[in-house]
Structure 1
Amino acid sequence: MKIQITYTKSLSFIAVLIFFSLSQSSHTQTNWTGAVDTNFYNVNNWSNTAIDFSNIQSETLVIGAGSPNNPIQSGGNANNVNYRPGSLNILTGANATFNGVLLPWNSNSFNGTITLNAPADLNIRNFVYLGKTANGTLNLNGGAIHSKNQFYIGYGAGGNGVANVLGGTLYAGSYLEIGTSPSGSNPIGTLTIDGGTVEVSSGVNIGTNGSIHIAGLGALLINGNHTTTINNHISNGKITSPANTTLVANFDGSRTTVAISQDPNRLIKEYASYIILDNGILEARIDKATSNVESLKVNGVETLQQNGGSRSGTYYDFTGSYGFDKISGTVFSIKEETEDYIDVSFKRTYSDGNYLAPCDADIHYVLKKDDTGLYTYSILHHKPEYPDFDLGSWRQVIWIGDNGTDYLTEKIYVNDVKNWQMPSVYDNQNASATGIQEIIKLNTGVRAGKYDGKYEYSESLLELPVWGHASDINNIGSWAVFGSHEFFPAGPTSHDLNAAAGIIHVLLTNVHYNSKGFNIPQGEDWSKIYGPYLIYTSEKATGDANWEDAKTRAAQERAEWPYTWLTNTPEYPQADGRGNIIGNFSITDSEKPELDGGNAWIGVTELSAESNGDWQFESKNFQYWVKTDAYGNFDIKHVRPGTYTLFAIKNGAINEYRMENVVVTAAGTTNLGSVNWTIPRNNGKLVWEIGVPDRTASEYKFGDFDYCEGFVQDKFASTFPNPIEYNVADKNWTTVLPYVHSTYFNSDGSFQSWNWNLNFDLTGSIPATGNAKLTVAFASADHAQFWVYVNGTRITPLPFYPPVGGGNAFLRQSNHAKYGLTVLDIPYNILRTGNNIINLQMPSTSSPVVNHVMYDYISLEGNLTTTLSTNNLDKNALGIKIFPNPASESINVKIENKNFNNLTLSVYDLLGKQMIKTTPVKSISNTYTIDIKNKLVSGMYIIKIDTEKGNYMSKIMVE
């Protein structure tokens, strides 16, 4: 019996055939002779020895039996249409082998014997006729063969087509026709799938003399739901498998998979070119050759982009001096399999000429029973015999699913500030380009009129246990969740891409904001594990509920770190193979007695040569950082054995604390006891300050949020004058000083240098000899000189640059890059009693959105007095009491021994941000109350009392 096909598209089919025949007639025919050797591209092997393979669109290449050589095609060019023959015909008696790329526009027949080996790509941009009115055999061992339209196996009277798909993939761009023909001539068609895959866009038709045999790991994949038709073919014996096996047709919501049934109790199903990890809740399809997750479904819902292009699924890639190297050529294996989880490996082993980055990459995915998350980790290994290896970026990219108009998850969540509804796919497609490639201007949707760009969401990664997207509509969230950040580079201030429109980035090493990467020379054996971390899917009613669920899962992952299930991996010691570092951190600063060791960052790392002793540039080795508690106690857990350098930084203090030779042993605890950072004050007293030392420019105008939204410079002309006149005594840097010292952007689009004048008064006598000290802490600098004049006298040499430069923080929508510190001498003899002016200049104007400096903090120290000098109130003499401590709903301030006419009470956080300010009514009992209920979160704060006679500051804990 023949399964008859009714062609509703017969007229268009005939039209295509007419076009095909007409186009054939305009081509020049050149025949294979094989007179010299097997080289397909040797012109002496063809009847027309003047053939130019760089321009063969008008050629019909005909391959018959060679005399004496059969053709072997290798190499080729997929990017230039001129390299595509107008037609490729293979005749009876031919024996042609393809190992490279060839993209013919047409083909009249594929007869004889055709063999494809990896990495072949034989891509016919029309129909394929295998065994057309003759015998034709295809042996697909690797690589791929494509048809844009129908792929016929057996065609026309006497046609006999045999396709053996033993590896690689056969792609049918439209229908796969096996033993069928519009003429009803009943050709023979046989397809055997054993170790490869066949992918079909529209459907499969099997004629009277047609058959499909699926053996081993092979699979037939058809877009859409064809289970009924396929099951009929299986029942009728048209699709078969070896004895004692069972074929199953399964529709996963997007395509039908036909393959031999596998053990339903395992978490894995393996096919020729891909695997499926499936625990009944989560299903991940992973490509064997690339390690790419092509599909990730949770309870049947696809969470990844499925457009088939470069913005689809997930992938890992390298960048370095060698360029961009996307992972390919991986070999699949199962590392460990139990009833509760499976760990699978996709390893790419470096070989010269095949891959760019001279480094092995072993990429793993781990699925647990009953989980909605897929763990992943990677191990990079540079063997001593490999060439020099430099690593800029090692990352994973996860593309979020959409329906062509809207994203599956329409809201972004990076932290508690950067979370909002995102532009839709439609909004992004209809946005306007800007002068900055990474930034678009939105014209439609909820964010119409705003800018959007991937750098807008950059944040310090160690502060983010989770980031991703969630939905109020689809009730789902897609997240990257981290149990540890030990494998991330550059310490607690390192910030980079995370989530953005339609994407989740996981930058395991950084290339932005002046990150440097590292080098491994030939001869060095180096390896490092990145992860594991979790690609997690949540299912809650709202986006915010999914966000809370993801943060809860992140806390669970942190509690379980290091994971007990990741065994037999030397790069990842278990808990008993690691040690802890404990102690108490404190700060002594004679000019800032309020500073203590609470809420400080403290951590250890091994410093490689590339870091130049600076943890900000350490990417090669692991870093372990924690925050101290309110009293300065710290416990750095799960540190690999080794000898480390310990660092500490604290908001409110410039520079950093450093301790060498901290030794960690497996299963041991290194008790450092009391660790005190005594900040030297050798330059005289602290005369005045500008800003808050926190390694960012967040406290200045536009530095707390506007900086991230794009083209903030358009606001400068209407907000700031040129030059800026800043009176140090006013302490109003939050409104007068911009977060970036760039060029000045005029309202007409022009730009010019932008001078800043810092005005301050000195009182009393000034020493005749010696120097005051101007400290400038930079949050960022890029392609910018920095000039300083004091009362008209230049105190910086020419040229002079900030100590750490690069990173494009201004263009990349950030308020910091890498931190640098400069201390400049100001000779006392150029200072004067009364008004003084420090003029700051950034004269570089060649690239306005690149040239800049960002100030973290500026201070003047010296044997000087000023109207700004602090007049501290005597706590004991005045009987100042602040209670209760800790406080929960209110804070009481009592001054027993003095009444003040003007009294202001303020509450600051430890970053120097004013949280509450009140001017209370004069009290008979001299007791004033500050209401803090629902205004402050738990933590340490500073209470400041300002009066006409001076001020007083004290710490208080809020619970």
Structure 2
Amino acid sequence: MAKSMGVKMHFRKHHVVIDNGIVQLTLTNPGGYVTGVKYNNIDNLLESQNDESDRGYWDLVWSSPDNPGTTGTFERIEGTSCEVIIETEDQVELSFTRTWDSTLVGKHVPLKIDKRFVILRGSSGFYSYAIYEHLEGFPGFNLDETRIVFKLRKDKFHYMAMSDDRQRYMPLPDDRLPARGKPLAYPEAVLLVNPVEPEFKGQVDDKYQYSCETKDLKVHGWISTDPPVGFWQITPSNEFRTGGPTKQELTSHVGPINLAMFISAHYGGNDLVVKFSEGELWKKVFGPVFMHLNTTSTGEDPLTLWQDAKNQMLEEVGKWPYSFPASKDFQQVNERGVISGRLFVYDRFISDEQAPTNGAYIGLAPPGDPGSWERENKGYQFWSKTNEQGCFSIEHILPGTYNLYAWVQGFIGDYKKPEAITITPGCDIEVGDLVYEPPRDGPTLWDIGIPDRSAAEFYIPDPDPMYTNQFLTDDPNRFRQYGLWEQYATLYPDGDLVYTIGESDYRKDWFFAHVPRKKGDNVYEKTTWTIKFKLNNVNKDETYKLRLALASAQVSDLQVRVNDLNTDSPLFSTGIIGGDNAIARHGIHGLSWLFNIDIPGTLLISNEENTIYLTQANGGTPFRGVMYDYIRFEGSALSCSGSNTCI
């Protein structure tokens, strides 16, 4: 039987072919580009009309260290030497390497890169991983992005799936060309006006509609219905990705294109660009990820290949960390450690007792400030969730020194264990009971939203009918429709949003994004949102607290004024913050921010209406704005003895 066949390899003039009887992989030699994937009697699943360097490849974007942005030089990673690492009937592992030297200044990224491909006996697919290294003497630079790309045959792969609620037949790449598509507010978004298949007419194609938080990004890919074949990218661990579990990444999109993203500035901006100084020593292993191929039995619905891919994903996750990678830089299970414990939350204005967390995210990341894991981009991260008793276990941790971080749904802020944790091979550390005390000065007088690092609970408008994609009309994907930012001016053509505590409902009355108002062609003006509330028994000698938790910010200046909109100087200003671009990219959140603002009692009025004005003062484009996560107004702990006595 074919599945019992051992793995074979042979070299051609400029190529090397690996074959295990199920899948045949062809790579350029010594470049290491994937030029062919043969499976299920299809000679090549990749787009053979493309150049050999433009079918399956590792790539990156890099820039000079003084570059302030998130773009730079695009480079496909082409090896200069090929080495056989393992060649047995059970496994073939090939290494394609390239090392920077001084003759390559300005021509190639200053890294030593070893990219590897592995095929195992009986495996319906192949693995790839890479080791990136910055060595002594290498110049400084910025690494903006790196990933693996596969461009599949557009005559075969028409159905894409990346989650149970986001899968569909897709337009063709031809539909994005000028004769068939109309570019919209940014180049990634195209209105299909004359698509090859009429069913897609009037839809928007935008790769960001298929983004996914990395905690959920484990399998995605494409299905060919004739013959029935699936091509899936499975990522069994997120330890090598940047930005923690809530970082969002691209998956698959029109092409048909399949991506394995490792580093990017998507939904993070410049904070997630990796910046290296001259001679800085750094090494990181990306992957392995698994490219899984599957097919159905005769007569079976090809779309069931998605379920099979999910099952295979669970199998790959169960194998992590893999035992087969031959590089000594990929550490095996016995070289890693474990920590466990319990996490409680204590908010004295909610309960007198510590409560066990349930579903809190808790993880190890390189040392930093509370919450720094969200902007961390050089090291490894390891995350888990607490159960109903608050218990957690984090496994397969690479040796090193970390901080233990956590965030708890329903509570603002970030937990950080004060002492660093050192992981050694084979360690099993019990950290005991940990207690997170979220920021709190006094009782809640009023609040808006849910502290969950997202704006999803707020009002998501219906999209302009011109841009509606039907597969995104229902929750939880309503926020992924194109152009929702423009609906603010439709709902508030003259005056801005006004929210009255005790009367308004944030699910209906609080727009999901605080954006500029469009006033004519390419004119976007600042906007001011108003919160009205009454207070009883204001203590003029005390200080109240306004907590603003933001889910996103894009080149914004958020200003706070109290009871006087016309004062020249705001009580508080963030200054220009943010670059995550989550409004334009349908992200519902980017990077989180928390601002704790003192409100002197002298600014407040007893037994009458008070007003807080929130001004997003930086207009100019439709995408400059913030998304709120949660807003809370706290009374003075000294003057309020209960949760409602001041309101």
Per-residue deviation, 1:613? 7.5
Which digits, 9 at most, give the CA deviation of each residue in 1:402-450, with x for residues without a partner?
Answer: 12xxxx2322222233222222345344222223111000234433222
**Higher alpha-carbon deviation: 541-550 or 766-775:** 541-550
Cα distance in 1 for partners of 2:306, 2:144 equals 31
Per-residue deviation, 1:639? 0.6
Query: Which residue among 508, 525, 544 is the counterpart of 2:281?
Result: 525
Query: In the alignment, is the contact (CA less than 8 A) between 1:603 and 1:626 conserved in 2?
Result: yes
Pairing 1:702–2:460 present = yes
Per-residue deviation, 1:795? 10
Pairing 1:417–2:154 present = no
Provide the secondary structure at the position in 1 that maps to 2:579.
coil
Map 1:792-831 to 2 at 5 A.
Answer: 792=564, 797=570, 800-801=573-574, 805-831=578-604
Per-residue deviation, 1:797? 4.8
Residue 524 to residue 841, structure 1, CA distance change in 2 (3 Å): closer
Which digits, 9 at most, give the CA deviation of each residue in 1:927-951, with x for residues without a partner?
Answer: xxxxxxxxxxxxxxxxxxxxxxxxx
Provide the secondary structure at the position in 2 that maps to 1:446.
helix
Cα distance in 1 for partners of 2:409, 2:224 equals 36
Residue 543 to residue 604, structure 1, CA distance change in 2 (3 Å): farther
Per-residue deviation, 1:385? 2.4
Cα distance in 1 for partners of 2:569, 2:628 equals 17
Q: State the number of aligned residues.
A: 597
The aligned counterpart of 1:761 is: 534
Pairing 1:844–2:627 present = no
Residue 459 to residue 613, structure 1, CA distance change in 2 (3 Å): closer
Residue 746 to residue 819, structure 1, CA distance change in 2 (3 Å): same
The aligned counterpart of 1:469 is: 222
Map 1:108-147 to 2 at 5 A.
Answer: none
Query: In the alignment, is the contact (CA less than 8 A) between 1:725 and 1:758 conserved in 2?
Result: yes
Query: Which residue among 716, 726, 730 is the counterpart of 2:499?
Result: 726
Which digits, 9 at most, give the CA deviation of each residue in 1:768-821, with x for residues without a partner?
Answer: 212111100111111111111111166975883368511211222211111111
CA RMSD between the two structures: 2.6
- Give the AA of the match of 2:612: I
Provide the secondary structure at the position in 2 that maps to 1:547.
helix
The aligned counterpart of 2:243 is: 490
Gaps of 5+ in 2: 65-72, 462-475
Which digits, 9 at most, give the CA deviation of each residue in 1:520-573, with x for residues without a partner?
Answer: 333333211100010111213445411111111111111111111124x23211
- Give the AA of the match of 2:322: Y
Pairing 1:636–2:374 present = no
Cα distance in 2 for partners of 1:796, 1:310 equals 60
- Give the AA of the match of 1:628: T
Per-residue deviation, 1:576? 0.8
The aligned counterpart of 1:688 is: 446
Cα distance in 1 for partners of 2:149, 2:540 equals 62
Which digits, 9 at most, give the CA deviation of each residue in 1:346-379, with x for residues without a partner?
Answer: 1112123344211011110001122221100000
Residue 266 to residue 773, structure 1, CA distance change in 2 (3 Å): closer
Query: Which residue among 245, 266, 291 is the counterpart of 2:32?
Result: 291
Query: Which residue among 362, 377, 381 is the counterpart of 1:602?
Result: 362
Gaps of 5+ in 1: 1-263, 872-959
Pairing 1:503–2:503 present = no
Per-residue deviation, 1:831? 1.3
Per-residue deviation, 1:750? 5.1
Query: Which residue among 211, 218, 241 is the counterpart of 1:458?
Result: 211
Query: In the alignment, is the contact (CA less than 8 A) between 2:556 and 2:577 conserved in 1?
Result: no
Identity rate, percent: 28
Provide the secondary structure at the position in 2 that maps to 1:818.
coil
Kindly indicate whether structure 1 or structure 2 has the higher relative contact order, using CA contacts under 8 Å at least 6 residues apart: 2
Residue 383 to residue 834, structure 1, CA distance change in 2 (3 Å): same
Residue 283 to residue 725, structure 1, CA distance change in 2 (3 Å): same
Per-residue deviation, 1:303? 1.9
- Alignment TM-score, normalising by the size of structure 2: 0.87
Query: In the alignment, is the contact (CA less than 8 A) between 2:25 and 2:36 conserved in 1?
Result: yes
The aligned counterpart of 1:446 is: 199
Query: In the alignment, is the contact (CA less than 8 A) between 1:795 and 1:826 conserved in 2?
Result: no
Query: Which residue among 414, 429, 432 is the counterpart of 1:673?
Result: 432
Query: In the alignment, is the contact (CA less than 8 A) between 1:744 and 1:752 conserved in 2?
Result: yes
Provide the secondary structure at the position in 2 that maps to 1:414.
strand
Q: Determine which structure has more spread, i.e. the larger CA radius of gyration.
A: 1
Cα distance in 1 for partners of 2:302, 2:345 equals 42
- Give the AA of the match of 2:132: L
Query: Which residue among 378, 385, 389 is the counterpart of 1:620?
Result: 378
Per-residue deviation, 1:496? 1.7
Provide the secondary structure at the position in 1 that maps to 2:171.
coil
- Give the AA of the match of 1:504: N
Cα distance in 2 for partners of 1:773, 1:505 equals 45
Which digits, 9 at most, give the CA deviation of each residue in 1:889-938, with x for residues without a partner?
Answer: xxxxxxxxxxxxxxxxxxxxxxxxxxxxxxxxxxxxxxxxxxxxxxxxxx
**Higher alpha-carbon deviation: 356-365 or 702-711:** 702-711
Per-residue deviation, 1:633? 1.2
Per-residue deviation, 1:762? 1.8
- Alignment TM-score, normalising by the size of structure 1: 0.59
Cα distance in 2 for partners of 1:731, 1:572 equals 54
- Give the AA of the match of 1:313: R
The aligned counterpart of 1:545 is: 304
Cα distance in 2 for partners of 1:750, 1:706 equals 27
Pairing 1:306–2:48 present = yes
Cα distance in 2 for partners of 1:343, 1:731 equals 62
Query: In the alignment, is the contact (CA less than 8 A) between 1:273 and 1:288 conserved in 2?
Result: yes
- Give the AA of the match of 2:403: T
